[in-house]
Amino acid sequence: MLDIALLRTNPDLVKENIKKKFQDEKLVLVDEVIEKDIQFRDAKTKCDSLRNQRKVISKEIGMLMGKGMKEEAEATKAKVADIAKELAELEALEEKLEAEIRERMLVIPNIIDETVPIGKDDSENVEVERFGEPVVPDFEVPYHIDIMERLNGVDLDSARKTSGNGFYYLCGDIARLHSAILSYARDFMIDRGFTYYIPPFMIRSDVVTGVMSFSEMENMMYKIEGEDLYLIGTSEHSMIGKFIDNILDESSLPQALTSYSPCFRKEVGAHGIEERGVYRIHQFEKQEMIVVCKPEESKEWFTKLYKNTVDFFRTLDIPVRTIECCSGDLADLKVKSIDVEAWSPRQQKYFEVGSCSNLGDAQARRLGIRVRSKESKNYFAHTLNNTVVAPPRMLIAFLENNLNEDGTIRIPEALRMYMGGKDLIK
């Protein structure tokens, strides 16, 4: 959510940003906010004046009663009653306007970074850099489910009976590999100075609307019937929500956190759920990075975060590349975003395995996450998040890139201690 002062002083900048994101239908919101803000401030000024009048006149009542001037006192009471009635009406208007302004402000997109490429959708995202040499083996690489089934590592049919499409049973060495990757990711991030967390897997609606846009919420979140609780789509939701309505000391920043959680997603939209696969599913597990920092530090942290993911995948011998998300592909709260994509030898192309985002002060402004400054007034923190790893999607890249011609799977050295010393899955 933007600072309303920006709309008051530079509405053209906000409108230009909306155009860059190809959301022209939202241009009218800027004018509506400005108009309602004028009405709100006018109502607030009148309310403050009436409260002051009521305070002054109320003192007169006691003085008149003390002098035995009962008739004058009653007349003054009538004035106070009239003021109270007018004040109640203005306070109701003030509350209504404030709600209408916030409703629109929550939909107006954040100001994107000047370095973000301008484009309508993900087809216009820009490759930044490649890491590792993508290899296509001489032998055929089967579909990832076929690889898992040959190793007795997945059961989709049973999951379809118990839960429907978009769910799975992992078993045997594939299940162990899944857990090993998460354990390695946890330790990888701890070794890089991040504090490890296991957060709540459900959050309240005020946290949900604080960490994401309404469109994301509608397409992602599962609501717990009869309760003000949602299943998290990523641990970022809980971890940023942890700081709601907090005033943090500058000395406590930056806070670099890494968290494990299961993730639950509707996956509503054009992509849909695969009938036979684990790329786009309703339930998965993930290791995440979250940073809360000073505004001037967020650009540096953004680079650190996505490079952590690149480094993690390279220790597992998986080639990756980074993709800069264009303006039209950025979620409304994001200032800048880079996706990490892994190489698929079977498809001979890269596919997304993680996303790094700088939210600026958008989440902090929505959730009331402030920083106490010794030298100036309090200000809103910046928040960032990034995927370390999200199996089972990452398993696709791992299995394809570490597949041997005889169908066995090579275990890179970094992962062997988490696999009981195994260097091969047969």
The tens digit of pLDDT for each residue in 18-48 reads 999 999 999 999 999 999 999 999 999 999 8
Tokens of 12: 């053209």
More confident residue, 109 or 267: 109
Which pLDDT band holds residue 55 (cuts at 50, 70, 90)? confident
Question: In the predicted model, is pLDDT for residue 120 greater than 60?
Answer: yes
Residue 203 has pLDDT above 70, yes or no: yes
- At residue 280 the predicted structure's pLDDT band, cuts being 50, 70 and 90, is confident
What pLDDT shows up at residue 69? Answer: 76
Calpha distance 257→190 (Å, rounded): 9
Question: Which tokens go with 352?
Answer: 């997304």
Strands 424-425 and 409-410: antiparallel
Q: What is the pLDDT of residue 52?
A: 84
Beta bridge partners of 425: 409
Range of lowest pLDDT (59-63, 80-84, 314-318, 336-340): 59-63
pLDDT at 309 > cutoff 90:
yes
Round the average pLDDT of the chain to a whole number and report it: 92
pLDDT for residue 270 is more than 60: no
How high is the pLDDT of residue 54? 79
Predicted local distance difference test score (pLDDT) of residue 275: 63
| β-bridge pairing 230-231 and 222-223 | antiparallel
pLDDT tens digits along 176-192:
999 999 999 999 999 99
Give me the pLDDT at residue 300, please.
Answer: 97
First-to-last alpha carbon distance for the chain, in angstroms, is 52
pLDDT value of position 268: 65
- Report the candidate in 175, 423, 416, 414 with the shortest Cα–Cα distance to residue 318: 414
Q: What is the mean pLDDT of residues 359-385?
A: 94
pLDDT, greater one: 49 or 368: 368
Six-digit token pair at 262? 């299961």
Averaged pLDDT for residues 205-212: 91
The beta-carbon contacts of 401-408 under 8 Å, at least 24 apart in sequence, are: 401/135, 401/317, 401/318, 401/319, 401/342, 401/343, 401/345, 402/316, 402/317, 403/137, 403/141, 403/147, 403/345, 405/137, 405/138, 405/139, 407/147, 407/150, 407/151
Neighbour count for residue 349 (Cβ, 10 Å): 10
What is the mean pLDDT of the segment spanning 355-383?
A: 94
Percent of the chain with pLDDT over 70: 96
The first and second tokens of residue 414, run together, are 């970094």
- Note the pLDDT of residue 269: 59
Kindly report whether the peptide bond that precedes residue 109 is cis, defined as omega within 30 degrees of 0. no
* pLDDT tens figures, 316-360: 999 999 999 999 999 999 999 999 999 999 999 999 999 999 999
CA distances from 94 to 42, 101, 315 (A): 9, 11, 57
Contact 399, 147 (CB under 8 A): yes
**Domains, in order of start, for the chain:** 4-105 (1.10.287.40), 122-425 (3.30.930.10)
**Given a cut of 80, is residue 67 above it in pLDDT?**
no
Residue 384's contacts (CB-CB under 8 Å, 6 or more residues apart) are 289, 290, 291, 293, 298, 301, 302, 305, 356, 357, 358, 359
pTM above 0.85, yes or no: yes
- pLDDT greater than 80 at residue 272: no
pLDDT at 215 over 90: no
Q: CA-to-CA distance for 208 and 204, rounded, in angstroms?
A: 6
Q: In this structure, are residues 231 and 262 in contact, taking their beta carbons and an 8 Å threshold?
A: no
Judged against a pLDDT cut of 90, whether residue 411 lies above it is answered with yes
pLDDT for the residue numbered 53:
81
Report whether 381 contacts 256 (CB < 8 A): no
- Of the listed ranges 179-188, 263-272, 322-331, 389-398, the least confidently predicted one is 263-272
SS3 237: helix
Quote the distance between the C-alpha of residue 375 and its chain's center: 30
Query: CA–CA separation, 211 vs 237, rounded Å?
Result: 6
CB 339, CB 125: distance < 8 Å: yes
Q: For residue 221, report the phi and psi dihedrals to the nearest 5 degrees.
A: -80, 140
How far is it, in rounded angstroms, from Cα 236 to Cα 221? 13
